[in-house]
């Protein structure tokens, strides 16, 4: 389809990439990109890191306004889609109605709001406006409490410590980043943050926010002038669900990223797609997954491509002077092998499923290449070569 109208709901990096990729692939029809925030689309990952340090919002912008004009992409900002009429192939945006030939949902996620008394006192960090509010507040406070020991919570903790703040992190799970990291790597990052002066309260969730403090499940109170809520997210699936699309921890899609309506696609943090290894539907909170999926959808729409989405997922997090990089996807029960101080190999059964590294871009890139092969290397093969992924990647050249 080279001349139909494609409407994209969500102007984050995945939505923007979908619009750009459609043009790059040769789509000649109309493209409308709709975002509910005012202003030009921007990058979200730096909000918890560089932006808190510099406050330079202009560096976050994905493309200038004239770029969208040159590419004939109709950008609607500060607009919320109220509903989808699948039978008429229309989306309703306030008083406006748009008719589409293909629809792409890139609606992202929002913060989980745990049932904690007084949680309304906490800051969130999902949007530029929230990041600006947090940055302004950091200029006038010294005692910071973070609810959640995941990527965002720890990134902010590192920035706050570098700014001289007292930082406490409360995490209900028994270890840091437990959904995505091996126990060994979790412990390494705990040690790193403790060396910076951050204090942890693990297996001890927050039950109440009061004026000037938080209350832990143990009954302990922690003084806090500012509280950040970083306890996870939930996918924005209400629009899809109201339209009758299949939803299960995300908008359910097939290997071509089509929803239960073949004229509607979904990508990024809001979509649950079939993992090519297990066949189970997974949802990834990853900018790279969103942009890769956007490119795949564009190829399908423009060229009728039938190639199942099977990119190796990868993630990163900058915490102080450590860059954590993860290639692949590991279940919580995956076994782990630690190599040196900066690398952990994870295995599902006998097969490599993920590699975690600290400040080791070379091994991370090797891991992505190795995991892209099907099947992934077996434990015994890696053990025989001393877990040297360089020797594994040499096989690709033979």
> Average pLDDT for consecutive 10-residue bins of the chain (398 residues)?
93 98 97 97 95 95 96 97 98 97 97 92 95 94 95 97 96 95 97 98 96 96 96 96 98 98 98 90 95 98 93 96 97 92 94 97 96 90 90 58
The structure tokens listed for 171 are 């995490």
- Whether 266 and 255 have beta carbons less than 8 Å apart is answered as no
- Whether 68 and 28 have beta carbons less than 8 Å apart is answered as no
pLDDT of residue 286: 93
pLDDT of residue 121: 92
φ and ψ at residue 152, rounded to 5 degrees: -65, -45
Q: Estimate the crossing angle of helix 13-24 against helix 287-303, to 10 degrees.
A: 30
Fold topology of 113-231: FAD/NAD(P)-binding domain (3.50.50)
State the Rg of the chain over Cα: 22
Q: Is the dihedral of CA 296, 302, 304, 305 positive or negative?
A: negative
Do the domains 6-110+234-303 and 113-231 sit in the same CATH topology, yes or no? yes
φ and ψ at residue 263, rounded to 5 degrees: -90, 0
User: How far is it, in rounded angstroms, from Cα 88 to Cα 335?
Assistant: 50
pLDDT of residue 278: 81
Every domain of the chain and the residues it spans: 6-110+234-303, 113-231, 321-397
User: How far is it, in rounded angstroms, from Cα 180 to Cα 193?
Assistant: 18
pLDDT of residue 398: 42
User: How far is it, in rounded angstroms, from Cα 266 to Cα 250?
Assistant: 9
The structure tokens listed for 205 are 């969730």
Q: What is the DSSP string of 143-160?
A: EEEEE--SHHHHHHHHHH
The structure tokens listed for 91 are 């989306």
Beta bridge partners of 34: 9, 76
Q: What is the CATH number of domain 6-110+234-303?
A: 3.50.50.60
User: How far is it, in rounded angstroms, from Cα 253 to Cα 293?
Assistant: 11
Strand order in the sheet with 31-34: 73-76, 31-34, 6-9, 102-105, 264-266
Between the alpha carbon of residue 257 and those of residues 129, 216, 264, 279, 308, the distances in Å are 31, 42, 9, 14, 8
Strand order in the sheet with 199-202: 199-202, 166-171, 143-147, 226-229
pLDDT of residue 141: 81
- Residue by residue, what is the 3-state secondary structure of 173-225? CCCCCCCCCCHHHHHHHHHHHHHHCCEEEECCCEEEEECCEEEECCCCEEECC
- Whether 224 and 121 have beta carbons less than 8 Å apart is answered as no
Quickly count: other Cβ atoms within 10 Å of residue 233's Cβ.
Answer: 16
DSSP 260: S
pTM of the entire predicted model? 0.94
Q: What is the DSSP string of 85-109?
A: ETTTTEEEETTEEEE-SEEEE---E
Q: Is the dihedral of CA 68, 69, 74, 77 positive or negative?
A: positive
The structure tokens listed for 232 are 């996870």
pLDDT of residue 379: 93
pLDDT of residue 397: 46
CATH architecture of the domain with range 321-397: 2-Layer Sandwich (3.30)
Q: Which long-range contacts (CB under 8 A, 24 or more apart) does 377-385 make?
A: 377/351, 377/352, 378/350, 378/351, 378/352, 379/337, 379/347, 379/350, 379/351, 379/352, 380/350, 382/345, 382/352
Between the alpha carbon of residue 194 and those of residues 148, 149, 333, the distances in Å are 16, 13, 26
């Amino acid at each position: 389809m080279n001349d139909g109208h494609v409407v994209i709901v969500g102007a984050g990096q995945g939505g923007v990439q979908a619009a750009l990729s459609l043009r790059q692939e040769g789509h000649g029809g109309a493209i409308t990109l709709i975002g509910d925030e005012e202003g030009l689309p921007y990058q979200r990952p730096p909000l918890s890191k560089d932006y808190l340090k510099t406050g330079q919002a202009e560096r976050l912008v994905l493309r200038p306004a004239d770029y969208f004009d040159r590419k004939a992409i109709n950008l609607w900002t500060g607009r919320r889609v109220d509903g989808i009429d699948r039978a008429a192939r229309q989306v309703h945006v306030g008083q406006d109605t748009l008719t589409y030939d293909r629809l792409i949902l890139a609606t992202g996620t929002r913060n989980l709001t745990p049932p904690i008394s007084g949680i309304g006192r906490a800051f969130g960090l999902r949007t530029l406006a929230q990041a600006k509010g947090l940055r302004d507040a950091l200029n006038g406070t010294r005692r910071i409490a973070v609810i959640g020991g995941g990527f965002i919570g720890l990134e902010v903790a590192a920035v706050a410590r570098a700014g001289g703040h007292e930082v406490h992190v409360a995490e209900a799970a028994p270890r840091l980043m437990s959904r995505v990291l091996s126990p060994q790597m979790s412990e390494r990052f705990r040690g790193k943050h403790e060396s910076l002066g951050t204090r942890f309260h693990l297996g001890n969730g927050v039950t109440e926010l009061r004026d000037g403090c938080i209350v832990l499940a143990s009954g302990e109170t922690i003084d806090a002038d500012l509280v950040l809520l970083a306890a996870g997210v939930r996918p924005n699936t209400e629009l899809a669900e109201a339209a009758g699309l299949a939803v299960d921890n995300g908008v359910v899609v097939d290997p071509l990223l089509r929803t239960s309506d073949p004229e509607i696609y979904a990508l990024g943090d809001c979509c649950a797609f079939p993992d090519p290894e297990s066949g189970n539907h997974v949802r990834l909170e990853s900018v790279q997954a969103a942009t890769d999926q956007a490119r795949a959808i564009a190829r399908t729409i423009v060229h009728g491509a039938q190639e199942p989405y099977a990119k190796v997922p990868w993630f990163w997090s900058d915490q102080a002077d450590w860059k954590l990089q993860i290639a692949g996807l590991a279940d919580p029960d995956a076994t782990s092998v630690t190599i040196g101080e900066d690398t952990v190999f994870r295995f599902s059964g006998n097969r490599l499923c993920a590699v975690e590294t600290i400040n080791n871009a070379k091994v991370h890139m090797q891991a992505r290449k190795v995991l892209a092969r099907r099947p992934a290397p077996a434990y015994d093969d890696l053990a025989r070569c001393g877990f040297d992924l360089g020797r594994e990647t040499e096989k690709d050249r033979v």
